[in-house]
Amino acid sequence: MRRSCLLGPMVAIPISSRAQAITDSITLAISARASEMKAAGQDVISLGAGEPDFSTPPDVAEAGIEAIRSGKTRYTPARGLPEVRAAAVHWFKTQFGLEYSKENIMTTAGAKPALVMAMMALVNKGDRVLLPAPYWPSYPEMVRLADGEPIDLPALPENNFICSAEQIDQAVAEHGAKGIVINFPNNPSGAVPSREEVAAIVDSAARNNLWIISDEIYAQLIYDGLEHVSPASIPGGQERVLIVNGATKSHSMTGWRVGFLAGPEEIVDAAGRIQSQAIGNPCTISQNAVMKVCYQDDPAEVRRRLKSFDERRQYLMRTINEIDGLSLNLPKGAFYALVDVRKICQQRGIDDVAFAEKLLVDGLVATVPGSAFAIPGFIRLSYAASMQDLEGAIERIDRFVQA
Protein backbone atom coordinates (compact mmCIF):
# COMPACT_ATOMS: atom_id res chain seq x y z
CA MET A 1 0.00 0.00 0.00
CA ARG A 2 1.22 3.50 -0.84
CA ARG A 3 1.91 5.50 2.31
CA SER A 4 0.87 9.13 2.31
CA CYS A 5 0.61 12.07 4.63
CA LEU A 6 -2.97 13.24 5.02
CA LEU A 7 -3.11 17.04 5.35
CA GLY A 8 -6.85 17.45 5.05
CA PRO A 9 -9.86 15.73 3.58
CA MET A 10 -8.81 16.35 -0.04
CA VAL A 11 -5.00 16.60 0.06
CA ALA A 12 -2.83 13.51 0.33
CA ILE A 13 0.89 14.00 -0.24
CA PRO A 14 2.56 10.73 -1.30
CA ILE A 15 5.75 9.63 0.42
CA SER A 16 8.64 9.07 -2.03
CA SER A 17 9.31 5.52 -3.17
CA ARG A 18 12.80 5.92 -1.72
CA ALA A 19 11.41 6.64 1.75
CA GLN A 20 8.90 3.82 1.40
CA ALA A 21 11.71 1.36 0.76
CA ILE A 22 13.51 2.29 4.01
CA THR A 23 12.76 0.61 7.34
CA ASP A 24 13.46 1.91 10.85
CA SER A 25 16.51 0.68 12.74
CA ILE A 26 15.46 -2.62 14.37
CA THR A 27 18.01 -2.38 17.19
CA LEU A 28 16.76 1.09 18.11
CA ALA A 29 13.16 -0.18 17.89
CA ILE A 30 13.92 -3.05 20.30
CA SER A 31 15.66 -0.68 22.73
CA ALA A 32 12.63 1.62 22.56
CA ARG A 33 10.29 -1.33 23.25
CA ALA A 34 12.41 -2.42 26.24
CA SER A 35 12.37 1.18 27.55
CA GLU A 36 8.56 1.32 27.20
CA MET A 37 8.23 -1.94 29.15
CA LYS A 38 10.56 -0.55 31.84
CA ALA A 39 8.56 2.68 31.98
CA ALA A 40 5.43 0.57 32.46
CA GLY A 41 7.06 -0.94 35.56
CA GLN A 42 8.39 -4.19 34.06
CA ASP A 43 11.84 -5.23 35.21
CA VAL A 44 13.42 -5.69 31.76
CA ILE A 45 17.16 -6.29 31.31
CA SER A 46 18.19 -4.74 28.02
CA LEU A 47 20.98 -6.42 26.08
CA GLY A 48 19.70 -4.97 22.81
CA ALA A 49 21.66 -1.78 22.25
CA GLY A 50 25.27 -1.48 21.15
CA GLU A 51 26.09 1.32 23.53
CA PRO A 52 28.88 1.03 26.12
CA ASP A 53 27.79 1.54 29.73
CA PHE A 54 30.87 3.73 30.39
CA SER A 55 30.88 7.52 30.14
CA THR A 56 32.91 9.58 27.68
CA PRO A 57 36.44 9.89 29.20
CA PRO A 58 36.57 13.10 31.30
CA ASP A 59 39.48 14.67 29.38
CA VAL A 60 37.64 14.18 26.09
CA ALA A 61 34.42 15.61 27.54
CA GLU A 62 36.46 18.51 28.97
CA ALA A 63 37.85 19.29 25.50
CA GLY A 64 34.26 19.69 24.31
CA ILE A 65 33.36 21.91 27.27
CA GLU A 66 36.47 24.00 26.64
CA ALA A 67 35.43 24.39 22.98
CA ILE A 68 32.11 25.85 24.12
CA ARG A 69 33.77 28.14 26.70
CA SER A 70 36.25 29.49 24.18
CA GLY A 71 33.58 30.15 21.57
CA LYS A 72 34.47 27.32 19.19
CA THR A 73 30.81 26.97 18.37
CA ARG A 74 30.62 28.27 14.82
CA TYR A 75 30.43 26.63 11.38
CA THR A 76 33.55 24.81 10.23
CA PRO A 77 34.47 23.67 6.71
CA ALA A 78 32.05 20.91 5.67
CA ARG A 79 34.79 18.26 5.65
CA GLY A 80 35.81 19.26 9.17
CA LEU A 81 38.35 21.60 10.76
CA PRO A 82 41.78 21.27 9.11
CA GLU A 83 43.38 20.65 12.54
CA VAL A 84 40.92 17.81 13.22
CA ARG A 85 41.66 16.21 9.85
CA ALA A 86 45.37 16.54 10.66
CA ALA A 87 44.72 14.91 14.04
CA ALA A 88 42.92 12.06 12.24
CA VAL A 89 45.96 11.59 9.96
CA HIS A 90 48.04 11.18 13.15
CA TRP A 91 45.49 8.78 14.68
CA PHE A 92 45.24 6.51 11.61
CA LYS A 93 49.07 6.38 11.54
CA THR A 94 49.73 5.74 15.23
CA GLN A 95 46.82 3.40 15.96
CA PHE A 96 46.51 1.50 12.69
CA GLY A 97 49.77 2.11 10.78
CA LEU A 98 47.89 3.69 7.86
CA GLU A 99 49.43 6.54 5.84
CA TYR A 100 46.95 9.20 4.81
CA SER A 101 47.11 12.92 4.21
CA LYS A 102 44.46 15.46 5.21
CA GLU A 103 42.96 15.31 1.71
CA ASN A 104 42.19 11.62 2.23
CA ILE A 105 40.12 12.21 5.35
CA MET A 106 36.91 13.95 6.21
CA THR A 107 35.23 14.36 9.55
CA THR A 108 31.63 13.16 9.70
CA ALA A 109 28.76 13.18 12.18
CA GLY A 110 29.55 9.58 13.26
CA ALA A 111 30.15 6.30 11.46
CA LYS A 112 26.59 6.12 10.19
CA PRO A 113 26.74 9.35 8.16
CA ALA A 114 30.25 8.38 6.98
CA LEU A 115 28.74 5.18 5.54
CA VAL A 116 25.86 7.06 3.93
CA MET A 117 28.14 9.70 2.36
CA ALA A 118 30.46 6.94 1.09
CA MET A 119 27.56 5.04 -0.49
CA MET A 120 26.16 8.22 -2.03
CA ALA A 121 29.57 8.93 -3.54
CA LEU A 122 30.04 5.43 -4.96
CA VAL A 123 26.70 3.82 -5.81
CA ASN A 124 24.90 4.49 -9.09
CA LYS A 125 21.24 3.71 -9.64
CA GLY A 126 20.81 -0.07 -9.78
CA ASP A 127 24.41 -0.89 -8.74
CA ARG A 128 24.63 -4.11 -6.80
CA VAL A 129 26.52 -4.08 -3.54
CA LEU A 130 27.66 -7.25 -1.75
CA LEU A 131 26.88 -7.55 1.95
CA PRO A 132 28.57 -10.53 3.60
CA ALA A 133 26.24 -11.77 6.36
CA PRO A 134 25.91 -11.42 9.23
CA TYR A 135 25.86 -7.65 8.79
CA TRP A 136 24.71 -4.53 10.56
CA PRO A 137 21.04 -3.95 9.58
CA SER A 138 21.65 -0.40 8.35
CA TYR A 139 23.80 -1.49 5.39
CA PRO A 140 21.00 -2.70 3.07
CA GLU A 141 18.93 0.36 3.93
CA MET A 142 21.85 2.65 3.11
CA VAL A 143 22.44 0.89 -0.22
CA ARG A 144 18.74 1.41 -1.04
CA LEU A 145 18.98 5.07 -0.01
CA ALA A 146 21.68 5.42 -2.65
CA ASP A 147 19.36 3.70 -5.20
CA GLY A 148 21.53 0.58 -5.23
CA GLU A 149 20.57 -3.04 -4.74
CA PRO A 150 21.92 -4.97 -1.74
CA ILE A 151 23.00 -8.57 -2.37
CA ASP A 152 23.42 -10.82 0.67
CA LEU A 153 26.34 -13.22 0.83
CA PRO A 154 25.23 -16.06 3.13
CA ALA A 155 26.84 -16.23 6.57
CA LEU A 156 29.37 -18.98 7.17
CA PRO A 157 29.27 -19.97 10.87
CA GLU A 158 31.64 -22.87 10.04
CA ASN A 159 34.15 -20.30 8.70
CA ASN A 160 33.90 -18.12 11.83
CA PHE A 161 31.55 -15.78 9.94
CA ILE A 162 34.30 -14.59 7.58
CA CYS A 163 33.45 -14.42 3.88
CA SER A 164 35.75 -16.20 1.48
CA ALA A 165 37.27 -14.98 -1.79
CA GLU A 166 35.42 -17.77 -3.63
CA GLN A 167 32.12 -16.51 -2.26
CA ILE A 168 32.89 -12.99 -3.50
CA ASP A 169 34.13 -14.18 -6.92
CA GLN A 170 31.00 -16.26 -7.36
CA ALA A 171 28.64 -13.47 -6.28
CA VAL A 172 30.29 -11.01 -8.68
CA ALA A 173 30.00 -13.53 -11.52
CA GLU A 174 26.34 -14.04 -10.69
CA HIS A 175 25.25 -10.49 -9.84
CA GLY A 176 27.82 -8.18 -11.48
CA ALA A 177 28.36 -6.28 -8.21
CA LYS A 178 30.29 -3.01 -8.05
CA GLY A 179 31.28 -2.97 -4.39
CA ILE A 180 31.32 -4.75 -1.06
CA VAL A 181 30.77 -3.59 2.52
CA ILE A 182 32.78 -5.40 5.18
CA ASN A 183 32.78 -4.88 8.94
CA PHE A 184 35.49 -6.32 11.18
CA PRO A 185 35.44 -6.66 14.16
CA ASN A 186 31.95 -7.66 13.20
CA ASN A 187 28.64 -6.62 14.62
CA PRO A 188 26.93 -9.02 15.45
CA SER A 189 29.38 -11.97 15.38
CA GLY A 190 32.53 -10.44 16.92
CA ALA A 191 34.51 -12.01 14.04
CA VAL A 192 38.07 -10.76 13.50
CA PRO A 193 39.78 -12.13 10.36
CA SER A 194 43.49 -12.91 10.08
CA ARG A 195 45.77 -10.90 7.78
CA GLU A 196 45.57 -13.75 5.23
CA GLU A 197 41.77 -13.71 5.28
CA VAL A 198 41.66 -9.94 4.77
CA ALA A 199 44.25 -10.23 1.98
CA ALA A 200 42.06 -12.83 0.24
CA ILE A 201 39.10 -10.42 0.35
CA VAL A 202 41.22 -7.56 -1.05
CA ASP A 203 42.64 -9.81 -3.79
CA SER A 204 39.16 -10.85 -4.82
CA ALA A 205 37.99 -7.21 -4.80
CA ALA A 206 40.98 -6.27 -7.01
CA ARG A 207 40.31 -9.16 -9.41
CA ASN A 208 36.68 -8.11 -9.70
CA ASN A 209 37.31 -4.35 -9.65
CA LEU A 210 35.14 -3.82 -6.56
CA TRP A 211 35.35 -0.88 -4.21
CA ILE A 212 35.40 -1.81 -0.53
CA ILE A 213 33.71 0.11 2.25
CA SER A 214 35.36 -1.11 5.45
CA ASP A 215 33.43 -0.27 8.60
CA GLU A 216 36.11 -0.40 11.32
CA ILE A 217 34.19 1.30 14.12
CA TYR A 218 35.14 -1.54 16.55
CA ALA A 219 38.81 -1.65 15.45
CA GLN A 220 40.13 -0.81 18.90
CA LEU A 221 38.00 -3.40 20.66
CA ILE A 222 39.87 -6.64 19.94
CA TYR A 223 40.73 -9.34 22.50
CA ASP A 224 43.47 -11.88 23.14
CA GLY A 225 46.19 -9.70 21.61
CA LEU A 226 44.87 -10.20 18.07
CA GLU A 227 45.68 -7.47 15.56
CA HIS A 228 43.20 -5.39 13.61
CA VAL A 229 43.93 -5.69 9.90
CA SER A 230 42.41 -3.00 7.72
CA PRO A 231 42.01 -3.97 4.05
CA ALA A 232 43.69 -0.61 3.35
CA SER A 233 46.88 -2.02 4.90
CA ILE A 234 47.04 -4.85 2.33
CA PRO A 235 49.13 -4.08 -0.78
CA GLY A 236 46.72 -2.91 -3.49
CA GLY A 237 44.01 -2.21 -0.93
CA GLN A 238 44.38 1.47 -0.13
CA GLU A 239 43.29 2.69 -3.58
CA ARG A 240 39.97 0.83 -3.44
CA VAL A 241 39.12 1.02 0.27
CA LEU A 242 37.05 3.60 2.10
CA ILE A 243 37.48 3.27 5.86
CA VAL A 244 34.78 4.29 8.31
CA ASN A 245 36.11 4.74 11.84
CA GLY A 246 35.92 6.94 14.93
CA ALA A 247 35.78 6.92 18.72
CA THR A 248 32.06 6.18 19.08
CA LYS A 249 32.46 2.73 20.61
CA SER A 250 36.01 2.84 21.99
CA HIS A 251 35.47 6.11 23.91
CA SER A 252 31.69 6.03 24.46
CA MET A 253 31.13 9.02 22.18
CA THR A 254 27.79 7.68 20.94
CA GLY A 255 25.89 10.91 21.49
CA TRP A 256 28.63 13.28 20.26
CA ARG A 257 28.06 12.31 16.64
CA VAL A 258 31.55 12.50 15.24
CA GLY A 259 33.59 10.08 13.10
CA PHE A 260 35.89 9.80 10.08
CA LEU A 261 35.82 8.67 6.47
CA ALA A 262 39.24 7.92 4.95
CA GLY A 263 40.14 6.82 1.45
CA PRO A 264 41.14 7.89 -2.06
CA GLU A 265 41.11 11.70 -2.31
CA GLU A 266 38.65 11.97 -5.20
CA ILE A 267 36.06 9.77 -3.49
CA VAL A 268 36.43 11.47 -0.11
CA ASP A 269 36.15 14.83 -1.85
CA ALA A 270 32.93 13.70 -3.57
CA ALA A 271 31.56 12.45 -0.23
CA GLY A 272 32.50 15.85 1.21
CA ARG A 273 30.49 17.66 -1.47
CA ILE A 274 27.47 15.55 -0.54
CA GLN A 275 28.04 16.16 3.16
CA SER A 276 28.32 19.92 2.54
CA GLN A 277 24.83 19.87 1.01
CA ALA A 278 23.25 17.31 3.34
CA ILE A 279 24.41 18.31 6.81
CA GLY A 280 27.01 21.08 6.50
CA ASN A 281 29.74 20.43 9.02
CA PRO A 282 29.79 17.85 11.82
CA CYS A 283 29.29 19.38 15.28
CA THR A 284 32.15 21.82 15.97
CA ILE A 285 32.25 20.99 19.69
CA SER A 286 32.49 17.26 19.01
CA GLN A 287 35.25 17.81 16.44
CA ASN A 288 37.29 19.55 19.12
CA ALA A 289 36.61 16.74 21.59
CA VAL A 290 37.58 13.91 19.20
CA MET A 291 40.88 15.68 18.51
CA LYS A 292 41.83 14.80 22.09
CA VAL A 293 41.28 11.10 21.33
CA CYS A 294 43.40 11.33 18.17
CA TYR A 295 46.46 12.56 20.08
CA GLN A 296 46.29 9.93 22.85
CA ASP A 297 49.10 7.80 21.47
CA ASP A 298 48.95 5.37 24.38
CA PRO A 299 45.31 4.24 24.49
CA ALA A 300 45.39 3.33 28.22
CA GLU A 301 41.73 4.24 28.60
CA VAL A 302 40.74 1.88 25.77
CA ARG A 303 42.81 -0.92 27.37
CA ARG A 304 41.01 -0.40 30.68
CA ARG A 305 37.60 -0.61 28.97
CA LEU A 306 38.66 -3.60 26.93
CA LYS A 307 39.66 -5.46 30.10
CA SER A 308 36.21 -4.90 31.49
CA PHE A 309 34.48 -5.98 28.26
CA ASP A 310 36.73 -9.04 28.20
CA GLU A 311 35.58 -10.14 31.67
CA ARG A 312 31.99 -9.93 30.47
CA ARG A 313 32.83 -11.79 27.26
CA GLN A 314 34.49 -14.61 29.23
CA TYR A 315 31.53 -14.74 31.60
CA LEU A 316 29.06 -15.13 28.69
CA MET A 317 31.23 -17.75 27.01
CA ARG A 318 31.26 -19.85 30.17
CA THR A 319 27.64 -19.49 31.16
CA ILE A 320 25.91 -19.61 27.76
CA ASN A 321 27.73 -22.76 26.70
CA GLU A 322 26.59 -24.40 29.96
CA ILE A 323 22.93 -23.86 29.04
CA ASP A 324 21.60 -26.94 27.30
CA GLY A 325 20.51 -26.09 23.76
CA LEU A 326 22.52 -22.84 23.37
CA SER A 327 25.99 -22.35 21.98
CA LEU A 328 28.35 -19.45 21.51
CA ASN A 329 31.60 -19.27 19.54
CA LEU A 330 34.18 -17.05 21.19
CA PRO A 331 33.69 -13.47 19.90
CA LYS A 332 37.12 -11.98 19.12
CA GLY A 333 36.18 -8.32 19.00
CA ALA A 334 33.44 -5.70 19.56
CA PHE A 335 30.97 -6.34 22.43
CA TYR A 336 28.40 -8.73 21.04
CA ALA A 337 27.67 -12.42 21.56
CA LEU A 338 25.90 -14.14 18.66
CA VAL A 339 24.19 -17.08 20.34
CA ASP A 340 23.10 -20.11 18.33
CA VAL A 341 19.49 -20.87 19.37
CA ARG A 342 18.66 -23.17 16.45
CA LYS A 343 18.22 -26.27 18.65
CA ILE A 344 15.68 -24.60 20.92
CA CYS A 345 13.86 -23.03 17.97
CA GLN A 346 13.60 -26.44 16.34
CA GLN A 347 12.33 -28.09 19.56
CA ARG A 348 9.67 -25.42 19.99
CA GLY A 349 8.78 -24.97 16.34
CA ILE A 350 9.56 -21.23 16.40
CA ASP A 351 12.03 -18.97 14.62
CA ASP A 352 14.60 -16.58 16.11
CA VAL A 353 12.21 -13.62 15.88
CA ALA A 354 9.61 -15.46 17.99
CA PHE A 355 12.39 -16.64 20.33
CA ALA A 356 13.57 -13.04 20.95
CA GLU A 357 9.98 -11.83 21.27
CA LYS A 358 9.10 -14.51 23.86
CA LEU A 359 12.37 -13.97 25.71
CA LEU A 360 11.45 -10.29 26.00
CA VAL A 361 7.79 -10.74 26.96
CA ASP A 362 8.08 -13.88 29.15
CA GLY A 363 11.73 -13.79 30.20
CA LEU A 364 12.13 -9.99 30.42
CA VAL A 365 15.45 -9.91 28.54
CA ALA A 366 15.78 -7.74 25.42
CA THR A 367 18.01 -9.17 22.67
CA VAL A 368 18.01 -8.81 18.87
CA PRO A 369 16.93 -11.71 16.62
CA GLY A 370 19.63 -12.87 14.21
CA SER A 371 17.25 -12.38 11.25
CA ALA A 372 17.85 -8.64 11.64
CA PHE A 373 21.50 -9.34 10.74
CA ALA A 374 20.67 -11.88 8.02
CA ILE A 375 21.58 -14.79 10.31
CA PRO A 376 18.34 -16.54 11.28
CA GLY A 377 18.51 -19.08 14.11
CA PHE A 378 20.70 -16.87 16.28
CA ILE A 379 20.13 -14.02 18.75
CA ARG A 380 22.52 -11.17 19.52
CA LEU A 381 23.32 -10.13 23.07
CA SER A 382 25.21 -6.91 23.65
CA TYR A 383 27.61 -7.21 26.57
CA ALA A 384 28.14 -3.46 26.74
CA ALA A 385 26.09 -3.87 29.91
CA SER A 386 27.01 -4.15 33.60
CA MET A 387 28.08 -7.50 35.08
CA GLN A 388 25.06 -7.33 37.33
CA ASP A 389 22.74 -7.06 34.32
CA LEU A 390 24.56 -9.87 32.55
CA GLU A 391 24.28 -12.16 35.56
CA GLY A 392 20.57 -11.39 35.86
CA ALA A 393 20.06 -11.93 32.13
CA ILE A 394 21.84 -15.30 32.12
CA GLU A 395 19.70 -16.51 35.01
CA ARG A 396 16.56 -15.50 33.13
CA ILE A 397 17.72 -16.94 29.80
CA ASP A 398 18.53 -20.23 31.53
CA ARG A 399 15.08 -20.34 33.10
CA PHE A 400 13.43 -19.41 29.77
CA VAL A 401 15.30 -22.10 27.84
CA GLN A 402 14.68 -24.82 30.43
CA ALA A 403 10.98 -23.98 30.81
Ligand X SMILES: Cc1ncc(COP(=O)(O)O)c(C=O)c1O
Binding site for ligand X (CB under 6 A): 50, 110-112, 136, 183, 187, 215, 217, 246, 248, 254, 259
Nearer to ligand X, 223 or 342 (CB): 223
Q: Report the nearest approach of ligand X to the CB of residue 222 (Å).
A: 14
- Bridge partners, residue 262, by sequence: 105, 243
Q: Report the nearest approach of ligand X to the CB of residue 47 (Å).
A: 14
Contact yes or no for 283/252 (Cβ under 8 A): no
What is the rounded distance in angstroms from the CA atom of residue 126 to the CA atom of residue 282? Answer: 29
What is the rounded distance in angstroms from the CA atom of residue 323 to the CA atom of residue 15? Answer: 47
What is the rounded distance in angstroms from the CA atom of residue 82 to the CA atom of residue 67? Answer: 16
Nearer to ligand X, 180 or 401 (CB): 180
Nearer to ligand X, 111 or 339 (CB): 111
Nearer to ligand X, 118 or 323 (CB): 118
Nearer to ligand X, 319 or 335 (CB): 335
What is the rounded distance in angstroms from the CA atom of residue 132 to the CA atom of residue 306? Answer: 26
**Taking Cα atoms as reference points, which of 223, 156, 237, 224 lies closest to residue 195?**
237
Nearer to ligand X, 127 or 215 (CB): 215
What SS3 class is residue 223?
Answer: coil
Which residue's C-beta sits nearest to ligand X?
A: 110
Q: Report the nearest approach of ligand X to the CB of residue 40 (Å).
A: 26
Q: What are the DSSP calls for 22-81, one per residue?
A: ----HHHHHHHHHHHHHHTT---EE------SSPPPHHHHHHHHHHHHTT--S---TT--
Q: Report the nearest approach of ligand X to the CB of residue 112 (Å).
A: 3
Provide the residue count of the chain: 403
Q: Report the nearest approach of ligand X to the CB of residue 63 (Å).
A: 18
What is the rounded distance in angstroms from the CA atom of residue 12 to the CA atom of residue 177? Answer: 38
Q: Report the nearest approach of ligand X to the CB of residue 209 (Å).
A: 25
Nearer to ligand X, 64 or 246 (CB): 246
Q: Report the nearest approach of ligand X to the CB of residue 213 (Å).
A: 11
- Hey, what amino acid is at 107? T
